[in-house]
């Protein structure tokens, strides 16, 4: 046994080919690894969210624009690049991003190539550009020479170690002191380092179409916060715009493919900050120190309603809203000289009332006529006389009433034709006097203010969660004339959530004698929400069961009385003809099928004439509540008032109506 093993040990063996194969594969991998490819940069900007700095990537379209400008900016120090649909400008040399249409803090911009994972969340943070270049140079040397485990120290004395292309780590600076002084070490919890934006799973926006078809100004309601997350009007309108961009390919795909449409631009209008610039100091002096947060919340929000009912602050609010919309409109045209589209306006809560009051006081100059009384005694002349604002408005109001009464007295009735027959009245276009009379019904009780004029005529006015109906009623307006329309705006849509405690209807003020429901906004996916369909189905089922039960009871009663009634009648009269007639009548009664409902078939409601406020079309539109909201309407009341910014159904209504003005319809009309 031992000799056999000894012989086997001394027996010559052939060399194995495995080491040669392994060495060749390693050589191929080394050759492939030694091929260095430059990293592709992507541009980011820093934004403070919830008191934390977050680096947000520009869209691929904007990043490419910035990169091309960066390569050519060596010859231009003041190069500015418009981004995000033209709403922000980036100053390349300063590496700063500025808002164009509204006030906002500037934000830092970086050309990013290397990232490390943050310690508080899983978001990646880009290194400064200079240190990223140092990292890239070191990475290139490591790849070219295939020499790894390189260690670098960042400007903040953090340690980065490049172990291999797949493993690169970042250590927080932990200072140790020895006889030679303090030095950082790679202690602590390591954090991942990534090269290139494609390796950090960043959500890069798709970008926006360059063509702008329509412009919509959005006015906020009370307070600086516009939703349940206490976000500003700028942030909420950003959500609204993003929802609209997602709706276009889903419902206007054909028009997009045929390049008939681009996008709709939504721009916020802020009036709250201007109003509270000076009045907050006065309020602070008289505010009690107890329940401090609640009192400041009331001062910042609820008091806006009282401010608007004050002639002094109402003038400030309407001046701010109108001047801001005019300013932004002119700036928009300056930055978009090829824009040929229309303009619409939208208001949320109190903002819708502000816009309604502005629109009802616009002057229609299509006929080229002006109010003669105002030419004789203008508001400026009354102001120069030293008459206060309130009395000035009352005098002008009196002059308008007097002019309207004189014009109405001068009108003659329809003339009689030959033979004493009255000729059929031919419909005529309302005169300026008639229009003013109808306007006076709507402006009754308005706060005395000099309402400024817009420099454009809005196509459509959209009101979200609007208290217009309530304010008109409180002001003493009992009914809106069916022939009344806004002087310079053709369309008006009143959109509300069914649980919104601030929202009120408009149509019952035009047609007070008819009860009818608002129009149900269809779901953006083309059907009612499932819980609403189930609710309607259960209602129909209960009605069917009720009708069938009543029919069965009726049939049983008829069959019981069918035999007894003829016998009694025959015994009393002895007349066989009466017996036959009774049997025949009972047979006719039993011919009715028991399963048929006795209630009349529900017919489609007749179309309701809601006047000309929306060009003869419906005005009130109600959203469908979500399934969870239907459990407790009181619990979701506040959410119902703040839900419009992310509502696909609301956004789709706007897009549908806006593009209809351009003769463009959706791919498949919703029911």
Residues involved in catalysis? 349
Phi, psi of 126 (to 5 degrees): -75, 145
Pick from 576, 321, 621: which is nearest to 466 by CA? 621
R_g (Cα) of the chain, nearest Å: 38
Give the dihedral sign, CA 417/421/424/429.
Answer: positive
Q: Contact 111/93 with Cβ under 8 angstroms? A: no
Tokens of 431: 């005169």
Pick from 327, 265, 231, 216: which is nearest to 87 by CA? 265
Beta bridge partner(s), residue 55 = 46
**How many angstroms separate the CA atoms of 512 and 486, rounded?**
20
3-state secondary structure 393-406: HHHHHHHHHHHHHH
Q: Is 147 exposed, middle or buried (0-12, 13-18, 19+ CB in 10 A)?
A: exposed
User: Which secondary structure element, helix H or strand E, spans residue 463, and what is its range?
Assistant: strand 460-464
Count of helices and strands (H, E) across the chain: 21, 21
In order, the DSSP letters of 464-530 are ES--HHHHHHHTT-----TT---SS--EEEEEE-TT-SS---SHHHHSTT---PPEEPPPTTSS--H
Pick from 163, 152, 155, 73: which is nearest to 109 by CA? 73
Q: Contact 152/144 with Cβ under 8 angstroms? A: no
Helix, strand and coil content of the chain, in percent to the nearest 5, comes to 45, 15, 40
Q: Contact 128/155 with Cβ under 8 angstroms? A: yes
Q: Is 208 exposed, middle or buried (0-12, 13-18, 19+ CB in 10 A)?
A: buried
**How many angstroms separate the CA atoms of 205 and 626, rounded?**
28
3-state secondary structure 3-27: HHHHHHHHCCCCCCCHHHHHHHHHH
Phi, psi of 435 (to 5 degrees): -60, -40
Give the DSSP letter of residue 74: G
Between vectors from CA 45 to CA 44 and to CA 48, what angle results, nearest 5°?
A: 135
**How many angstroms separate the CA atoms of 440 and 435, rounded?**
9
Q: Contact 219/354 with Cβ under 8 angstroms? A: yes
**How many angstroms separate the CA atoms of 266 and 215, rounded?**
6
Q: Which residue has the tokens 């260095």?
A: 36
Tokens of 454: 């817009």
């Amino acid at each position: 046994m031992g000799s056999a093993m000894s012989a086997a040990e001394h027996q010559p063996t052939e060399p194995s080919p495995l080491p040669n194969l392994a060495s060749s594969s390693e050589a191929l991998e080394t050759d492939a690894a030694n091929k260095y490819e430059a990293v592709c940069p992507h541009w980011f900007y820093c934004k403070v969210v919830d008191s934390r700095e977050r680096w947000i990537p520009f869209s691929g379209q904007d990043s490419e624009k910035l990169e091309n400008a960066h390569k050519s900016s060596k010859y231009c120090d003041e190069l500015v690049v418009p981004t995000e649909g033209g709403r922000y400008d980036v100053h390349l040399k300063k590496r700063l991003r500025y808002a164009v249409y509204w006030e906002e803090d500037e934000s830092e911009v970086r050309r990013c190539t290397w990232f490390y994972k943050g310690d508080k969340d899983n978001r990646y943070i880009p290194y400064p550009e200079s240190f990223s270049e140092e990292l890239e140079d070191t990475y290139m040397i490591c790849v070219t020479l295939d020499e790894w485990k390189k260690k670098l120290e960042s400007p903040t004395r953090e340690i980065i170690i490049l172990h291999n292309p797949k493993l690169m780590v970042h250590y927080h600076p932990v200072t140790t002191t020895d006889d030679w002084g303090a030095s950082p070490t790679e202690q602590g919890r390591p954090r991942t380092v990534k090269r290139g934006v494609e390796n950090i799973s960043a959500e890069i926006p798709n970008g926006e179409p360059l063509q702008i078809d329509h412009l919509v100004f959005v006015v906020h309601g009370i307070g600086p916060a516009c939703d349940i997350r206490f976000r500003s009007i700028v942030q909420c309108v950003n959500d609204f715009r993003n929802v609209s961009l997602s709706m276009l390919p889903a419902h206007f795909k054909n028009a997009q493919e045929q390049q008939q449409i681009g996008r709709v631009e939504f721009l916020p209008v802020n009036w709250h900050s201007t109003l509270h610039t000076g009045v907050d100091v006065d309020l602070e002096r008289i505010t009690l120190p107890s329940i401090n947060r609640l009192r400041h919340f009331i001062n910042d929000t609820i008091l806006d309603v009282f401010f608007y009912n004050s002639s002094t602050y109402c003038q400030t609010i309407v001046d701010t809203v109108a001047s801001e919309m005019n300013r932004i409109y002119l700036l928009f045209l300056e930055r978009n000289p090829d824009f040929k589209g229309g303009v619409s306006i939208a208001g949320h809560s109190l903002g819708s009332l502000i816009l309604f009051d502005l629109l009802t006081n616009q002057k229609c100059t299509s006929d080229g006529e002006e109010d003669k009384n105002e030419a004789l005694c203008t508001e400026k002349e009354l102001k120069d006389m030293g008459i206060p604002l309130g009395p000035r408005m009352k005098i002008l109001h009196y002059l308008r009433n007097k002019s309207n009464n004189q014009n109405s007295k001068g009108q003659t009735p329809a003339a009689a034709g030959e033979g004493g027959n009255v000729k059929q009245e031919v419909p005529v276009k309302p005169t300026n006097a008639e229009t003013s009379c109808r306007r006076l019904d709507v402006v009754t009780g308005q706060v005395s203010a000099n309402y400024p004029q817009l420099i454009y005529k809005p196509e459509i006015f959209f009101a979200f969660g609007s208290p217009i109906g309530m304010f008109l009623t409180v002001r003493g307006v009992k009914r809106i004339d069916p022939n009344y329309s806004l002087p310079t705006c053709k369309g008006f849509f009143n959109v509300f959530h069914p649980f919104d405690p601030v929202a009120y209807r408009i149509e019952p003020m035009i047609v007070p004698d008819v009860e009818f429901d608002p129009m149900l906004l269809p779901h953006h996916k083309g059907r009612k929400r499932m819980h609403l369909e189930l609710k309607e189905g259960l209602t129909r089922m209960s009605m069917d069961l009720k009708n069938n039960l009543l029919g069965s009871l009726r049939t049983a009663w008829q069959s019981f009385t069918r035999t007894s009634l003829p016998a009694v009648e025959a015994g009393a009269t002895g007349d066989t003809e009466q017996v036959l007639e009774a049997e025949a009548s009972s047979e006719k009664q039993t011919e009715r099928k028991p399963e048929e409902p006795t209630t009349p078939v529900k017919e489609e409601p007749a179309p309701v004439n809601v006047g000309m406020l929306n060009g003869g079309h419906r005005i009130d539109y109600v959203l469908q509540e979500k399934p969870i909201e239907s459990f407790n309407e009181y619990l979701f009341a506040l959410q119902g008032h703040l839900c419009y910014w992310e509502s696909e159904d609301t956004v789709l209504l706007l897009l549908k109506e806006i593009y209809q003005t351009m003769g463009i319809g959706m791919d498949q009309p919703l029911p």
